[in-house]
């Protein structure tokens, strides 16, 4: 398996330039592998470090288009474990393309209502699930310190740039990257684009958890989580035509914020991290959605 936990991991093979964006490179994590791609396998690599022989399954939480559940179901199969997916939704609705894939990979789906889903951070609920399924419980989105560890090695590439930009959900990828930048004593500024309308929660969490030595800022995305409007659609079509596919939940918002707030002067070399998630495009009925599996 790829050793994302190696702080010297070589990300160069996934690096591309974008002709229409001078001084800007893109780290194409969406090209990491044919199925398992994006930032989620990095985070899962962090959880692998605490797997015990007694664990028979990976268990986690997410919505019906979740990139995290999609990656976890596939990763579990590769690690010869069962996958138990606690899904916010109803079994009576037709399966999303995401969940169909997960079923093809033998994942077990547990549909829960909003009230039960709200207990996903509750330790007693997690322990009960862990015992029932003999599972390693992975937090929603692969968040937490283990997930962050898996993203530290991104700094080995980012440290060579003046700025590194990425989209933020739980914040684990950004926090891991920041820890790496701090270890390298890099001067790179981290610019995080918050895809989730969270009443300032991420800003407060970053203020507490970002390493002192790292300069960072958080830009709030103009659109709500999972919302897509004609501007975002046009932006996606624009970059599709340049062979840089984006999806509406995270990476298109990153690009939208980058185009609006990118550094103009002085000229700064910038790395954009494409965190993947293209499988989720199938949930938005867009032309040219990638085929998977």
Ligand X SMILES: *Cc1c(COP(=O)(O)O)cnc(C)c1O
Residue whose Cβ sits closest to ligand X: 277
> Which of 191, 189, 188 shows the shortest CA–CA distance to 168?
191
Give min distance, CB of 134 to ligand X, in A: 26
Residue 167 binds ligand X, judged by CB under 6 A = yes
Sole binder of ligand X in the list 60, 189, 275, 279 (CB under 6 A): 275
Residues 28-57 that bind ligand X (CB under 6 A): 38-39
Residue 179 binds ligand X, judged by CB under 6 A = no
CA distance 77 to 81: 6
Give min distance, CB of 26 to ligand X, in A: 13
Residue number, 63 or 169, with CB nearest to ligand X: 169
CA distance 42 to 250: 17
Residue 82 binds ligand X, judged by CB under 6 A = no
> Which of 89, 39, 79, 41 shows the shortest CA–CA distance to 57?
79
Do 252 and 7 meet the contact criterion of CB atoms below 8 Å apart? no
User: In sequence order, which ranges of the chain are alpha helices (DSSP H)?
Assistant: 40-48, 67-78, 97-104, 114-117, 123-133, 145-149, 155-158, 172-183, 201-209, 230-240, 251-261
> Which of 70, 80, 16 shows the shortest CA–CA distance to 43?
70
Sole binder of ligand X in the list 63, 150, 171, 245 (CB under 6 A): 171
Residue number, 56 or 286, with CB nearest to ligand X: 286
Residues 183-212 that bind ligand X (CB under 6 A): none
Distances (CA, A) of 262 to 27, 164, 239: 17, 11, 17
Residue number, 105 or 133, with CB nearest to ligand X: 105
Residue number, 69 or 133, with CB nearest to ligand X: 69
Applying CB under 6 A, which residues contact ligand X? 38-39, 67-68, 141, 143, 167-174, 250-251, 275-277
């Amino acid at each position: 398996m790829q050793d994302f936990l190696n702080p010297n991991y070589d990300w160069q093979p996934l690096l591309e330039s974008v002709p229409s964006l001078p001084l800007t490179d893109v780290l194409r994590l969406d090209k990491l592998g044919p199925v398992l791609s994006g930032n989620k396998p990095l985070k899962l690599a962090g959880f692998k470090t605490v797997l015990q022989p007694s664990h028979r399954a990976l268990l986690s939480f997410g919505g019906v288009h979740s990139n995290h559940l999609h990656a976890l179901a596939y990763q579990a199969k590769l690690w010869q474990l069962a996958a138990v997916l606690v899904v916010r939704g109803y079994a009576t609705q037709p399966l999303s393309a995401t969940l169909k894939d997960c079923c093809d990979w033998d994942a077990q789906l547990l549909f829960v209502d909003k009230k039960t889903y709200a207990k996903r951070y509750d330790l007693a609920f997690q322990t009960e699930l862990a015992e029932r399924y003999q599972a390693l419980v992975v937090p929603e989105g692969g968040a937490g310190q283990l997930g962050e560890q898996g993203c530290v090695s991104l700094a080995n590439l980012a440290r060579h740039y003046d700025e590194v930009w990425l989209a933020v959900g739980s914040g684990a990828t950004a926090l891991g990257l920041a820890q790496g930048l701090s270890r390298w004593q890099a001067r790179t500024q981290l610019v995080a684009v918050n895809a989730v309308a969270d009443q300032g929660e991420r800003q407060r969490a970053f203020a507490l958890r970002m390493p002192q030595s790292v300069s960072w800022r958080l830009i709030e995305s103009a659109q709500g989580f999972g919302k897509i409007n004609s501007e975002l659609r046009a932006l996606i079509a624009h970059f599709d035509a340049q062979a840089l596919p984006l999806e509406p939940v995270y990476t298109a918002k990153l690009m939208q914020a980058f185009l609006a707030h990118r550094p103009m002067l002085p000229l700064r070399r910038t790395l954009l991290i494409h965190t993947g998630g293209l499988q989720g495009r199938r949930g938005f009925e867009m032309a040219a959605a990638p085929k998977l599996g």
